[in-house]
Every structure is written in C-alpha cells, then in structure tokens.
Amino acid sequence: MFKVRIGKTKAVLLFAAFFGLMLFINMDKAYAASSVTINRVDYINEEIVVNNNGNSMIYFATESEASRNSWEEVTADSGLTTAIDFSWVSPTSEEIIFVKGEDGVARRIVLKERARKLEVSISYDRLDGLSSNASIAPLVNIMSSAGTGDNPITFSDLEWRKGENGPWQDTSTLTVAQLEKLQIRGADLYFRIKAVNDNGPNADGTKGRRVSKEVRLKIAKKASPVAIGIDGEDFKADIRYGKEYRVTVGGVTSNWVKVTDKNVRQVPLSEIVNDGSNGLTPDKRFPAMVIEVRDYATSKAAPSKISRVELKEQRVIAGSVIKGNPPSNATASDPNIYISYNGTANLSITIPSASADNPYQYCIVKPGEVFDLERASWANINRDTAVKVLANKAVEGSTIYIRQKEIKAKAATKTSSAVEYQIASTYVTHVVEYPASPSIEAKSFTFVKGVSDDITFSIILNNIGKLPYETAIRSIKLGTKELQFATTTNVSLPLSPSVQYYINVTLSKDILNDLPNSYSRPLYITFENGTVDKTSIQLAIQNPTPATALTATASKGSTAGTTSIRVLTAVRAGNKLVYTVTGTKVEGLHVENVVTGTDFVDGTDIPVTVGQYVTVYEVNATTNKVVRYKCIQITSLYINP
C-alpha cells in the first residue's frame, strides 16, 4: 500500500485554500441575487413573466395566501425570465397575485377581470359606398363593459373566427368581400375582445386586459333574387317599396336607388334611365340597358341577391302613315301604315308587315283628351289585312297612335328559334280627318207626264278645307227601276281641299214620261265609292189632273174696245184670280199647269178685239198652278164698240 505523507504546514495551507474558495463562491452568489421584477403580465398566454434577477427560486401567492405566508415556489427557469401560469385564476373577477424572490421582496400584480358584457351586430344599411376590399368596421356595432367613453372598445380591439373551430384572426382580415362570400350560404361568426399584455418595467397588470368571452353573430344567407316584371307597353318595371335598383347604360352603372314610398308598385323606365328618354319618339327612345334590383339592406338584414334584366334598345317604328289603300302588290317587306276612309262611316288601318310574330297595336285619343301612356287602351293588329274602326270610336279630329307591340321572350323549340324580349316601339300618329260626304238638299218632285219638264237637282261633294269622298254617281234607282241620268260637274284631278266640288243631276222628261205612275218615293242614289243617299230626293210620277171650270160671264165694258168679266164662283182660300188674253182658245189645262197672268179684278174693263179669248184662272197664290179656269171667246156682243 502506497502512502503519502503530507506535512502539517502543507495541510493547513490546503484547508485554508479550500475554505477561502467556498467563501468566495458564497459571497459571489449573495452578491448576484436581487429582488425579482415584472417583465410583463402576459394576458394572451395567461402567465406572469418575471425577471429572475439571479434568484433560483420564485415564490407566488394570492393576496389571501400571502397574508397567511403560504407561498407556492417555482424553480427559476434557465435564462433571464420565469413564466408563472395564472390560467387557474377565475376571469370573472379581479385577482391580486404577489410574486417574490429569495430576498422576500414581493411584487403586487392585479389580474383584471374580463369584460362582463360584449355584444356585436352589423348594420347592413351602412354597406353602400364600401369597396369590396374595405374593412367591415363601419358596419359593426359594439357594446361592451370594457373600455371607457374616451377609449371605447373598437373593431380593431376584437378578433374573430368562422364557426366554432376556426382559428382566431385579426379583424383586419374581415373585409366586405369576405362578408359577401359568407352571405352566399350563411355562416356563424364568433367575436371576442382580444387580450392585451401589460409590458414594461412598471407592469403590474392594470394596463392590459384579459380576452373576453366570445359571442356569436349569425350572418344570414342572402334572400333569393326578387322577380323583375317589365311592362313593355307602359314602359315600367315592377319595382316596389323595399327594393332598390341601379341601371347600366353604355357601360356606365348608376348608384343604387331605394324605393322608400310604400305606395310605389312600379317605376317608369324613364325614371330609371333618367336621361330624358320616354320611349315615345325616335329621338327619345330607350337605350339598351341592364336593370339590377334587390331588396335593400336594413339595419338587421343584408341586401338580397341581385336580379338582372337586360333590355334591348327600343325599336323605332319603320315606315310612314300613308292615306289610302296599300298597293295591290304590297308584301310583308312594306313597312308603311295605310289608313283609308269609308266615307264618314269608318276607317281602315292596313299594315302589310303586321303578323303574329310582328304585332302592332293602336290606340285612339279623342279630341280634347290627352294621350296618357298609363291609361291608353291599345288594340292589336296581328294581320296584314284591313282593320276597320267605326267612326263613333275614331271620331273626327281624333289622334291615332300606332306602334309595334311588346314582344314576349320565348325559348327555342325544335321547330322555332328563341325570341328575345322587346318593349313596344316608338309610335307614329295620324289625325282622323274623314273626307266630306255628298250633301243633297232635300226636295220632293212630282213629275206629271206630258206636263212636267226635266227634273234637276245639285249635289255638293265637299266643303272648303276637305276633300270629297265621292266624285261620281254610279246609279240612281226609283224602287227597283234604274233611271238614266245626266250630270255636269267641276271635279278634276288632282283634287284640292280649297275647291268646293259639285255634281248637277238631270233626269230627262223623255225618260220619266215612259215610267209607270208612282206615289212619292225616294231616289236611291249610289256613288262610286259606295256612299248611298236614299232620303234626300223624293219623286212621284203621275198622269195630269184636269183643272175644273170656273163660272164666269162676259159683258160689254164701260169704254170702247173693252169687255167686262164677272166671276160667279167663290175663290178658295189661298188662291187668286188672274187672266190672259190670247188669240187661241185655252183648253185642256191640268192642275199642274202654271199660269202667270194679270191679276184679275171682277168687273173691270179688259181691252180686247173681236175673236180674241179671255181666260180667267183660279191659281194657287204661291205656286201659280191652275185650280179652275174659264175661257170665253169675245164676240161683238161682249165688246163696247
């Protein structure tokens, strides 16, 4: 066995060196340790982070525990700081925690209670004007027990997640575009006030906050698109109260316009485009447009999904209104509108291009009335043949409005192509101006065979300012017997409304003498265009009626060369006496004969010569037609020599 001997002096020196070393180590350790300080109160991770400051052991306790000197101890973490968990502390009330190191100097920490109240809602009616990448912060309403009047809880103080299991995100990520995506099917969003750490050398927990309890905000699915009806005849869109619309014309989209009047059921297209268009004339026709409609947002409901309707540019009615009938060879390619008149009885509208696939319509506004698109009553024209309109509907001076009808959209079939929707076209107008009808002064004629002369009467075809509808006579009938007639007229083409036209008609006595006798009957006068007059001219044909005899005597006059006649028959009322002196005997008179003699005075001297005849007539005082007469031959017995 090997033994080492150490001298006494060396042993003393070795012990002294070891003792000094231990003393140095202990003195260095005592010199390095100091009171712990607070690095931060970490509300996010729920831990108090202390600066070790050389302490190997850290102690903490609640306020009540510290009063009893009952401390929990934690071995200091390696490094400069140690984290003390406080997730076990109830967040519903404020809690005091003390922390100390080995020197016993305690630090007081206030763990604040979390916000007792948090409510989050969205006011969708503030959405207008926000871009898709903007934050929804302007929409969000926050009510919380946290914050102060000067420093309230704002949207940036919150964090959110989608659904119950989504990750918490900063609210800066919640944009309008994100919200609109969530509205497609609906979603549940959760919000909470995010935790804020209390940092710094003076941190004591009072300048931070705990995370709040989360609240749910239901994002409802957007309502289904509203249906948009277009009234293409009155030029209105079915947009009512609670809706809003916007329109795109020429690539420019208007702002949303809300309908806030509860009485509104339709909005005129003219109001929607708001550019002076009214759809009535070519220079004010409606442009092509896309109308978008939705339920507008309220404070509690988001706007609905958008409905869109695309309208093509309004058609301008082709062709012109032409007075008269269409040409016989007119085809569907003829765009003109032909209006003809059947005297004053009716008028006809003919549109060669009209068909079931290209319908037209017309309405009539009477004189004194105003064309009102909302009240106009339109009649359809779906064929290329004449459509008659009675004169009691289209009275003189009325205005006829004609346009192409609204065309409803149709889907394509196996036998037909698709048809696009079209609103009614612009319109053309025509003022109703019936041509003048023939005018015949009412007259009654009695034709006495062998006595009467030709019968004549005049027909006025028009008044100044109007063209005549008739210019010639086709036939004249008495009963079923067609009469021959002669006419004279001033009619010549072209006709002018500044000329009054007439026809003078003559019925020859030679023709009438051969007709059978008849009572007074109307002449049935038919004009070339079909106008018929069957009341104006009355005609009776008869044999002559012999005039009866007067009783009269002759005697010598009171002076030389005269005779005197006395009438013994009483003259009837309404008649008078006249006389004539002739060289031949007057006989065979009829009551139709007209005599314009010299007024007769009973017993006056009448100059005569022997052989002459003095005839005294009782005639109608108005017509001078003979009623009775007496013809006396003058002999020497009846003349004063």
Chain segment 138-155, per-residue pLDDT in tens: 999 999 998 888 889 999
Which residues does the chain have with pLDDT short of 50? Answer: 1-31
Is there a common fold for 315-434 and 439-542? yes
pTM reported for the whole predicted model = 0.64
Please determine, looking at this structure, whether the domain spanning 439-542 carries the CATH number 2.60.40.
yes
Q: What is the CA radius of gyration of the chain?
A: 61
Q: How much is the pLDDT for 32?
A: 57
Q: How much is the pLDDT for 413?
A: 86
How is 405-439 classified by DSSP, letter by letter? PPB--B---SSS--B--B----EEEEE--PPBPPE
Please determine, looking at this structure, whether the domain spanning 548-638 carries the CATH number 2.60.40.
yes
Residue with tokens 């008659």: 388
Fold classified for 315-434: Immunoglobulin-like (2.60.40)
Residue with tokens 């003095």: 614
How is 573-625 classified by DSSP, letter by letter? TTEEEEEEEESS-----BTT-B---EEP-TT-EEE--TT-EEEEEEEETTT-B
Is residue 39 within 8 Å of 203, Cβ to Cβ?
Answer: yes
Contacts 24+ apart (CB under 8 A), 294-298: 294/225, 294/226, 294/243, 294/244, 295/223, 295/226, 295/242, 295/243, 295/244, 296/125, 296/242, 296/243, 296/244, 296/256, 296/258, 297/124, 297/125, 297/127, 297/128, 298/124, 298/125
User: Which residues are bridge partners to 473 per DSSP?
Assistant: 527
Is residue 389 within 8 Å of 342, Cβ to Cβ?
Answer: no
φ and ψ at residue 184, rounded to 5 degrees? -60, -45
Distances (CA, A) of 239 to 286, 296, 488: 18, 12, 68
CA angle, residues 485, 470, 397, in degrees to nearest 5: 155
In tens, the pLDDT along 12-50 reads 344 444 444 443 344 444 445 899 999 999 999 999 999
> Residue 270 has what DSSP assignment?
H
CATH architecture of 32-111: Sandwich (2.60)
Averaged confidence pLDDT in the chain: 90
CA angle, residues 376, 377, 379, in degrees to nearest 5: 135
Domain parsing of the chain, residue ranges? 32-111, 118-219, 230-311, 315-434, 439-542, 548-638
SS3 125: helix
How is 480-497 classified by DSSP, letter by letter? TEEEP-EEEE---SSP-T
Give the strand pairing for 548-549 and 626-633. Answer: parallel
Sequence length of the chain is: 641
Q: How much is the pLDDT for 627?
A: 95
Helix (H) or strand (E) holding 31: helix 8-32
Is residue 554 within 8 Å of 606, Cβ to Cβ?
Answer: no
Q: How much is the pLDDT for 509?
A: 93
**Cα dihedral sign for 365, 366, 372, 377?**
negative
Dihedral Cα 45, 46, 50, 56, nearest 10 deg:
-100
Q: How much is the pLDDT for 269?
A: 95
- Listed residue (236, 250, 143) closest to 193, CA to CA: 143
φ and ψ at residue 561, rounded to 5 degrees? 75, 20
